[in-house]
Structure 1
């Protein structure tokens, strides 16, 4: 585990902190589609992402989901940090977008390291700031973008975080994550296909060209 920690976090943490993480943390692997965290769970450990992508979802009173942001290599989840520090129940759902490997740190170490290591403290505060900016971006997209623009942003973000031009989601799954209907998503995807920007296949979408802005 130390080799992977050094590779992904060696530029952030000093050697002493890396040794402490290696001594107390547990390496966890979650397959694509696996659930890392459920709404209502009490969090026992904080994740550091080694590889893969995790999507963070929020659920409304009707059980409909909204995609908040993605976690990538070198990230941690601010909402998990908050639940750890306050010992409250999770208000988000975390699902592995791809096969994912994480280092799980016991929550009792978090507060100890906040006082002991400046680099850990900086990492936690920067993580809060990054996730807040992503939440504000999600809020802005809901408030100010049309659904066609939100869909385009969603496809670009998916391609970026997975480093793939293939989006392995059904129209219904995309609709859930964008908090809209499958009919709307299917109509807009078909329009993109007619513009030769994507190719629709059964249960996946092939991105052909989304480099430039699209006018619907």
Structure 2
């Protein structure tokens, strides 16, 4: 854990804080598709992501679930922090996009470190700010973008998260994340292929002309 903590957060946190995290945090490994936090869970620990990527979903009581944003290495989920501090049940679902590792910090230390370490305060406030921007982007996407634009943005974000032109997701998986039907997604994917933006293969989707 110590090496991973220093690799990920060594440039962000003081050495004393890194030492405390190592002493109190629980290391957890996860695989693609694992549910890390579910709706209604009582969150007693705050996650810090050491590797991999996690997607955060919001429950739609009428139509299922909706993708809010992704978190990556070095990130945390501000909504889980809010639940920790308020001792409320989770209103989000965190699902592993890729395999990876994270550490879970008990809520008592999260609050203690806010007054003890400037780097921790900055990290928490920046995390809230970044996640708020991403949620506003998600709202803008729902309110102002057509489904084909939302789909293309989703594919580009998945490509970025996985650092690959190839996206291994079924049409049903994509429809689930975007809260629409598989038929709609299949039709729009074909349209994007006809426009030369993607290429459909039997088991994956390829982003065309994407630079990394």
Q: TM-score range by the shorter chain?
A: over 0.9
Does 41-50 or 195-204 show the bigger shift?
195-204
Q: Report 1:123-202 matches (<5 A).
A: 123-202=123-202
Hey, what does 2:30 align to over in structure 1? 30
Hey, what does 2:122 align to over in structure 1? 122
Hey, what does 2:8 align to over in structure 1? 8
Q: Distance in 2 between matches of 1:198 and 1:144?
A: 23
Kept in 1, the 8 Å contact 2:69–2:138? The answer is: yes
What does the per-residue CA deviation read over 1:109-162, in whole Å, with 9 as the maximum and x for residues that have no partner? 111111111110111011000000000000001111111111111111111111
Answering whether residue 44 of structure 2 is matched by residue 39 of structure 1, we say no
Corresponding pairs, count: 211
Hey, what does 2:81 align to over in structure 1? 81
Q: Distance in 1 between matches of 2:179 and 2:209?
A: 25
Q: Look up the SS of the partner of 1:153 in the other structure.
A: helix
TM-score (structure 1 length as normaliser): 0.94
Q: Look up the SS of the partner of 1:55 in the other structure.
A: strand
Report the CA distance between 1:198 and its aligned residue: 1.8
Hey, what does 1:214 align to over in structure 2? none
TM-score (structure 2 length as normaliser): 0.96
Report the CA distance between 1:52 and its aligned residue: 0.3
Does 185-194 or 81-90 show the bigger shift?
185-194
Answering whether residue 17 of structure 2 is matched by residue 17 of structure 1, we say yes
Kept in 2, the 8 Å contact 1:197–1:210? The answer is: no
